[in-house]
Structure 1
Amino acid sequence: MKIFLSIITVLVLFFQTSDVEILRNSYSKANLSVENAKNFIQLAEKKSSSDPVISAYKAASQILEAKVTTEKNKRKTFVKSGATSLENVIKNNPNNAELRLIRMSVQENIPKIVGYNKNLKEDKTFILNNYSKQTAVLKTYIKKFAMQSKTMTPAEKNSLK
């Protein structure tokens, strides 16, 4: 009986998708449609954790909310709040490649007039220099992002093996 319960427990833990993986998958689709963006925002709002990666996705969802809101006077507030939160998370965790990837993706996709695009080169360099140190799952996620990135050159994209 103990063996049976142990096997069941292992299977449940193995097939349970983590909050970070769920947020990653939703975030990677958020820019494809307004519906996907709204789904990501709702998903991120429900998460509460001290994990810096989850906090970064929550900050990205605030910024993304500026894109989908119908209240024009709130757009600036959403961007400012989200950007401040994202910058604080990165300041406290400067060696986390996923946080840099989130910021890079936000800065690539936000209108240039907003002025939140000063870290693109820095983040790209950090990601490329630290790519080999990442987990296999994160490497796959980085590659997927890089292939559609406007900031990475074809040579840089090819260097991600």
Structure 2
Amino acid sequence: MFTLKRSAFAPLLFTTILLLFVRQLPLAQNSSVAFDRAAYYAAFSSDNMNTIQKQLDIIRDGSQDQKDAFEGALMMKKAGLIKGASHKLKEFKAGREKLEHMIAKYAGNAEFRFLRLMIQEKAPKILGYDKQIEKDHRYVADHFKTIPEAVKKAILDYSKSSKVLSPEDF
């Protein structure tokens, strides 16, 4: 029969248990932090840098499809809150690239158009990021019924203070 010495078995058992535990850590971390649209739009409407950064971290660590659009829009929002013109511009451009790439890839996504619309309306005119305002306004209004409920709520809340969207559009 096969026999193991006690001293040889203990390290093997310990290593196996440790590997199983370590392997489960990434799964536990991912499951505890999930993308939540309501939390995202609350962070987006905030001017609190910590709230925005926490939401960016959730998005970056997450595995949700099309996360670049959400990250890009939040990066552009964050650009308005950070100090230093060169840092602001760099953050804004990086976010714009992500969002525009996703809009080009998913042209029929009304939520992405809404994100761009909010950014365009608030962005300084000197950035020249205001060319699609009316087009996005029409698209969001025309496709409002196809948008998830949490996004509809965000749109209605935003329309109350927007110069472009109004609650009557919906």
Give the structure-2-normalised TM-score.
Answer: 0.70
In structure 2, how many angstroms separate the alpha carbons of the residues matched to 1:43 and 1:134? 21
Cα separation, 2, equivalents of 1:51 and 1:57: 10
CA contact (8 A) 2:52 2:78 kept: no
Equivalence map 1:4-153=2 (5 Å) = 18-21=34-37, 22-28=39-45, 30=46, 33=47, 36-48=48-60, 49-52=63-66, 54-152=67-165
Instruction: Determine if contact 2:34/2:58 at 8 Å carries over to the other structure.
Output: no
Amino acid at match of 1:99: F
Task: Say which structure is richer in helix.
Answer: 1
Distance 1:17 1:136, change over 3 A: farther
Question: Aligned-pair distance for 1:103?
Answer: 0.5
Change (3 A) 1:40 1:76: same
Kindly report the root-mean-square deviation, in angstroms, between the aligned alpha carbons of the 2 structures: 2.1
Identity %: 22
TM-score normalised by structure 1 residue count: 0.74
Per-residue deviation, 1:150? 1.3
Greater Cα radius of gyration, structure 1 or 2: 2
In the alignment, structure 2 segments of 5+ residues that lack a partner are 1-31
Show the counterpart of 1:158: 168
Distance 1:135-1:39 versus aligned 2 partners, 3 A rule: closer
The number of residue pairs the alignment matches comes to 136
* Alpha-carbon offset, residue 130 of structure 1: 0.6
Distance 1:140 1:112, change over 3 A: same
Partner Cα separation in structure 1 for residue 154 and residue 144 of structure 2: 11
Q: Report deviation, 1:39.
A: 1.6
Q: Work out the CA distance in 2 between the residues paired with 1:69 and 1:61.
A: 12
Task: In structure 1, list runs of 5 or more residues that go unmatched.
Answer: 1-15
Q: 3-state DSSP class of the match of 2:160?
A: helix
Q: Is the 1:38–1:68 contact (alpha carbons within 8 Å) kept by the matching residues of 2?
A: no
SS in 2 for 1:87: helix
